[in-house]
Chains A and B, each alone.
Chain A
Amino acid sequence: DTEVTQTPKHLVMGMTNKKSLKCEQHMGHRAMYWYKQKAKKPPELMFVYSYEKLSINESVPSRFSPECPNSSLLNLHLHALQPEDSALYLCASSQGPGGGTTIYFGEGSWLTVV
């Protein structure tokens, strides 16, 4: 069982919709991540938050908007997505600077854009 919880597990949205993916961890980790994974491909880093501040944005299109309301929560707001954005979106966390670097993944949110 993963200690990183993601909702929803499945999401189908139209190209004009606005939706959000949510992620929560209660391990006291200070770094949280969003990864995107296409079928048969490795996870690709999208965003990293460290101590609730955006630390890394891997040149992700602005139709993806991350938010970190507090140290336990991470959201990914979705707007005007394209069909090629359909993928598994993985949230993850790690202890943060000075701590372990093990990345704990959630079960993911399967997104289909129609």
Chain B
Amino acid sequence: GQQVMQIPQYQHVQEGEDFTTYCNSSTTLSNIQWYKQRPGGHPVFLIQLVKSGEVKKQKRLTFQFGEAKKNSSLHITATQTTDVGTYFCAGQEGTYKYIFGTGTRLKVLA
């Protein structure tokens, strides 16, 4: 079945530094979603990318979908302590089934 890997597994950054997490799928994706889960919290939807090569921005967050629709990235500019959490990508397999990536845990040091 489909596998979705994320790197890095962990990232510690100083506040103000940039951060990037990469998501790679073993199969071509129809779309990809990104979620953020704060420590002790639940996953919260951030964005969905559908088109090949698509780039979307949300304030300091930039999301990209690869040309081959097998990879994606999330870049955070000038991290803040509020960015702490685990970032998951999720690729769609069938109507209802999203395969979550392994996640990248971000710690921001003040």
Contacts and interface: CB of A to CB of B under 8 A. Distances in A.
Nearest to B31: A101
Interface of B: 31, 33, 41-45, 48, 88, 90, 92, 94-98, 100-103, 105
B96 A55 contact: yes
Nearest to A6: B42
A106 B42 contact: yes
Contacts of B45: 102-104
A50 B88 contact: no
B97 A56 contact: yes
A56 B101 CA distance: 20
B42 A45 contact: no
Contacts of A76: none
Given A41-B103, A55-B96, 8 more contacts: A33-B96, A44-B100, A45-B97, A50-B95, A55-B95, A103-B33, A104-B45, A105-B42
A42 B42 contact: no
Given A42-B102, A42-B103, A105 B97 contact: no
11 contacts: A31-B96, A40-B103, A42-B102, A50-B95, A50-B96, A97-B95, A101-B92, A102-B45, A104-B45, A105-B43, A108-B42
Interface-central residue, B90, B98, B101, B105, by most chain A CB under 10 Å:
B98
A57 B95 CA distance: 14
A85 interface: no
List of 3 A-B pairs having minimum Cβ-Cβ separation, nearest first? A42-B100, A105-B42, A48-B96
